[in-house]
Amino acid sequence: MEETWVTLGVVCMGLGGIVAGLVGVVLPEGRRLGALFGLIAGGGVGVVVIGLGALLNERKEPTELTFLLASLLGLLTVCGASWAVWKLAVDARSASGESR
């Protein structure tokens, strides 16, 4: 079962890359680089969770479940940041009067 947690964690990381990539594709020119911010934030959250998981474990190393939790929280961060970047781009476009 331990390999399953790691596999699901890798799937979450891949989904985060897909989400950020798709947001980068639909963002208007000049704002596409904003899709990277979600990946950076998601990676940061994942590293923090793995570090905290290692601190809390009696063997001082993260478990497979900690890795899955870190990946899942990183994915949620990527989704949230990507939504925020997309929403800001849409709001800026409507404020300037451009059509889609």
pLDDT attached to residue 61: 84
**What is the amino acid identity at position 84?**
A
Decide if 46 contacts 61 (C-beta within 8 A).
no
Task: Quote the CA–CA distance of 14 and 29 in Å, as a whole number.
Answer: 24
DSSP classification of residue 61: S
pLDDT attached to residue 99: 52
Tokens (6 digits) for 2: 């331990």
CA distances from 99 to 11, 26, 86, 93, 96 (A): 36, 14, 15, 7, 9
Using DSSP's 3-state secondary structure scheme, residue 86 falls into helix
pLDDT attached to residue 74: 97
Tokens (6 digits) for 11: 């799937």
How do residues 45-87 score in pLDDT, each as one tens digit? 999 999 999 999 888 888 899 999 999 999 999 999 999 999 9
The share of the chain scoring above pLDDT 70, in percent, equals 95
Predicted model pTM = 0.88
Q: Cα-atom radius of gyration of the chain, to the nearest Å?
A: 17
- Nearest Cα residue to 21 out of 12, 30, 33: 33
